[in-house]
Amino acid sequence: MTEEKFTFQAEVSKLLDIVAHSLYSHKEIFLRELVSNASDACDRLRYEALTKPELAAGGALQIVIEVDKKARTLAVIDNGIGMSREELAENLGTIARSGTSAFVHELAAANADNDKKKSKGDDVALIGQFGVGFYSAFMVADTVEVVSRRAGSDAAWKWTSDGKGEFTLAEAERGANGTTVTLFVSKKEAEYLEEARIRTIVKTYSDHVGLPILLRLDGKEETLNAGAALWTRPAKEITPEQYTEFYHHVGHMFDEPWKVLHNRIEGVLSYTNLLFIPSAPPFDLFDPDRKPRLKLYVKRVFITDDCEALLPSYLRFVRGIVDSEDLSLNISREMLQNDPKLAKIRSGLVKRILGELKKASEKDAEGYATFWDNFGAVLKEGLYEDFSSRDSLVPLCRFRSIAGDGLISLDAYVEAMKEGQQAIYYITGEDAEVLRRSPQLEGFRARGLDVLLLTDPIDEFWLPNLGSHKDKPFKSVTRGAADLDAIPRSDAEAEKDKAADAETPGIDQLVAALKMALGGAVKDVRTSDRLTDSPVCLVAAEGDVDIRLERMLRQARRMGGEEAIARILEINPGHALIKALAGKVESTGAAGADAVKDAAFLLLDQARILEGEPVADPVAFATRLTAVMEKGV
């Protein structure tokens, strides 16, 4: 019999190295992974047998765990779909999942760098999400042997490896289709050959599997699990631990689910849903494909976990399964996407999930705040993607604002609006704490006006789309005129100042001089009612995009190389520096523009820096700053 040698893909070798050296706790999960693969293989056989009934000739699907203590082997045997020679090499020699290679690099780097070393728990959680799956067998085995025969073929193949960089493939014998994974258990892991240990592991991690799992040991055979898919059992017979295990299994998650939604819907269209809302964000939440990860079953037969029609993208953080009797088993995965029944199920699921969130938002502010921090940015995508659910989504949204540290809803904002306030004010940027210090907010704070701090890129998209809430338009505090005159400042002292500001001598000449000095570098220069403490700030003209949005669009390459949009420079007539400059311009007359030229550009650069923008000309900036400092010293 000829044997051929292969080397693992580089990522697999790295992964095996990490698996072998850093996961000394939780080794028992290897059995869960192998059982889960066996169960997946049976699911796939069932699905293929829908169109090729001859494949189902192998009899009832089941998983057997066979232990031979003398030989120190543990085998997981299934009669599922099996693998061809090519599939063995591909599936057990490379990492197919896209994110996994990146993860391996990250983990390898973290392990090399002791300071950044993650705790073991984190490693396990990550590995679960990325699906080290089969390779976890090498945590307990010196050698792993896989004999497999693809359903519909007579040829069987044997894959063997000690997990150290190479594997071999050779012809083999197998009576029927399916796969046998045999672990030659290493001496120090002998506990995994003990009946009691295996029984506990299966009960803990694999009880939800919808197939019988048999243990064959010392000539005895017994069934270890309930053998009915978890979602088919009555909710009151299911323990929280069982739900959690199932969630870990279907969701590739390792946290405790925040919410479990297990329902049976009877009617024109009947289905069961077992859905989970995670308590921690999955790693792929912001993957560009934005795919929902629900698994679809039809009459207990697994159909697909890649069904975009089942749940909208903005609910992609939800994990779990849907099983319906009323979808056709003969329909192809592609046609399924357009099935009107599926659309009905989808809208039922959306209602159910949003209803649950509403309940939580009203009854459990703290839990909901955590949910919001995890998934709010994703949920907000629904505001412009799903008009039919908008009315349910808006009340679910929460925001940080300058009034406090907590989260508020739009309703609460509108309720707290001040006399004379016409708009819902907001400011956008990357970081709430940086935003809180923006000079543009000074005038709002002085008037006791609240401003929403919007820090998710998605905010730039739904805001213009939603436009207003309860007839109050959204208004950016960094765009257009602030129009704050109508609203009195809350401190009497400030009111006095303000009256005086209007009369700052030379202020009009200063504005004119600044305009002349700056030329095309700004769109306009004007006095501001937005500022109380800072001398200047930049704002966008009414019809222009906000400064931060412009930056974001350029980063995302949605805006090309055209010239940067000129902004409006607002000056604070009450500020000592501005007053001094105004006095200077007034006294110098026609030469005013020249007298303040350096100051003009320094003020503009300062305003740009506050916006997180680079200064236009660093050399000129440094020269001017030096000159001014020289005079000041």
Ligand X SMILES: Nc1ncnc2c1ncn2[C@@H]1O[C@H](COP(=O)(O)OP(=O)(O)OP(=O)(O)O)[C@@H](O)[C@H]1O
* Smaller CB separation from ligand X, 41 or 603: 41
Q: Which is nearer to Mg ion, 133 or 506 (CB)?
A: 133
Helix/strand/coil (H/E/C) assignment for every residue in 442-493: HHHHHCCCCCEEECCCCHHHHHHHHCEECCEEEEECCECCCCCCCCCCCCHH
539 vs 546: CA distance, rounded Å: 8
SS3 (DSSP) at 269: coil
Nearer to ligand X by Cβ, of 76 and 408: the residue is 76
When computed from its CA atoms, the radius of gyration of the chain, rounded to whole angstroms, is 33
Site string for Mg ion, 130-169 (x = CB under 5 A): ---x------------------------------------
**Is 37 one of the binding residues for Mg ion (CB under 5 A)?**
yes
Q: According to DSSP H, which parts of 92-239 are helical?
A: 98-112, 120-130, 195-206
x/- site string to ligand X, residues 244 to 283, per CB under 6 A?
--------x-------------------------------
Phi/psi of residue 395, nearest 5 degrees: -65, -15
Q: How far is the CB of 241 from ligand X (least distance, A)?
A: 21
Pairing state of beta strands 424-428 and 452-454?
Answer: parallel
> Considering the complex, what minimum distance in angstroms separates the CB of residue 30 from Mg ion?
11
Token match 């523009």: residue? 593
Smallest separation, CB 136 to Mg ion (Å)? 9
Asked if residues 569 and 514 have their Cβ atoms less than 8 Å apart, the reply is yes
Query: Residues near 401 by Cβ (< 8 Å), separated by ≥ 6?
Result: 408, 413, 450, 451, 452, 453
Region from 31-39, 75-83, 274-282, 578-586 binding Mg ion, contact rule CB under 5 A = 31-39
Q: Which is nearer to ligand X, 179 or 389 (CB)?
A: 179
User: Binding to Mg ion (CB under 5 A): which residues in 410-449?
Assistant: none
For residue 41, give the nearest of 165, 232, 209 by alpha carbon: 209
* Residue 91 binding result from ligand X, Mg ion, none, given CB thresholds of 5 to 8 Å by partner type: ligand X
Q: Nearer Cβ to Mg ion, position 133 or 535?
A: 133
Q: Is residue 99 a contact partner of residue 91, using CB atoms and an 8 Å limit?
A: no
CB 74 within 8 A of CB 65: yes
Count the residues in the chain.
633
x/- letters, 322..361, toward ligand X (CB under 6 A): ----------------------------------------
To ligand X, the closest distance from the beta carbon of 191 in angstroms equals 23
Give me the residue label for tokens 């494949």.
55
Does position 22 interact with Mg ion (CB under 5 A)? The reply is no
Site for ligand X in 83-142 (CB under 6 A): 83, 91-92, 131, 133-134
Which CB atom, from 91 or from 324, has the smaller least distance to ligand X? 91
Cα–Cα distances (Å) from 300 to 37, 192, 268, 307, 337, in that order, read 17, 31, 19, 16, 19
Of all residues in the shown chain, the one whose CB is closest to Mg ion is 133
Q: Within 558-617, which residues bind ligand X (CB under 6 A)? A: none
CA dist 252 → 191, 257, 290, 310 (Å): 26, 12, 16, 19
Nearer to ligand X, 289 or 485 (CB): 289
Which segment (34-42, 51-59, 300-308, 451-459) binds Mg ion by CB under 5 A?
34-42
Angle at 302 between CA 296 and CA 304, to 5 degrees: 50
536 binds, among ligand X, Mg ion, none (CB under 5 to 8 A by kind): none
Site for ligand X (CB under 6 A): which residue of 15, 38, 549, 602? 38
Measured between alpha carbons, how far is 257 from 512 in angstroms, rounded to an integer? 62
Interface of this chain with ligand X, residues 161 to 200, rule: CB under 6 A: 179
Question: Which two tokens mark 109?
Answer: 């780097």
Site string for ligand X, 212-251 (x = CB under 6 A): ----------------------------------------
Interacting span for Mg ion (CB under 5 A) from 37-45, 237-245, 432-440, 450-458: 37-45
Is residue 327 within 8 Å of 268, Cβ to Cβ? no
Binding-site size, ligand X (CB under 6 A): 18
Among 29, 31, 41, 294, the residue binding ligand X under the rule CB under 6 A is 41
- With respect to ligand X, which residue has the nearer C-beta, 59 or 561? 59
The span from the CA of 352 to the CA of 51, in Å, is 34
Q: Segment contacting Mg ion (CB under 5 A): 21-29, 35-43, 69-77, 190-198?
A: 35-43
Nearest residue by C-beta to ligand X? 131
The strand pairing partners of 143, in sequence order, are 184
CB of 13 to ligand X, least distance (A): 15
- Contact region with Mg ion (CB under 5 A), list: 33-41, 360-368, 416-424, 581-589: 33-41
Tell me, residue by residue from 54 to 93, as one string, x for binding to ligand X by CB under 6 A and - for no binding: ------------------------x-xxxx-------xx-
Report the nearest approach of ligand X to the CB of residue 253 (Å).
Answer: 11
Report the nearest approach of ligand X to the CB of residue 471 (Å): 50
Least separation in angstroms between CB 462 and ligand X: 34
Contact status: 442 vs ligand X (CB under 6 A): no
Q: Which stretch binds ligand X (CB under 6 A): 9-17, 37-45, 298-306, 593-601?
A: 37-45
Name the helix (H) or strand (E) containing 347: helix 340-363
33 near ligand X (CB under 6 A): yes
SS (H, E, C) 222-263: EECCCCCCHHHCCHHHCCHHHHHHHHHHHHCCCCCEEEEEEE
Alpha carbon of 308 to those of 20, 281, 293: distances in Å?
37, 20, 8
Least Å distance between CB 79 and Mg ion?
17
119 alpha carbon, distance to own chain's centre = 22
- Interaction partner, residue 80 (ligand X, Mg ion, none; CB < 5-8 Å by kind): ligand X
Burial 495-504 (b: 16+ CB within 10 A, else e): eeebeebeeb
Per CB under 6 A, residues contacting ligand X are 33, 36-38, 40-41, 78, 80-83, 91-92, 131, 133-134, 179, 252
Per CB under 5 A, residues contacting Mg ion are 37, 133
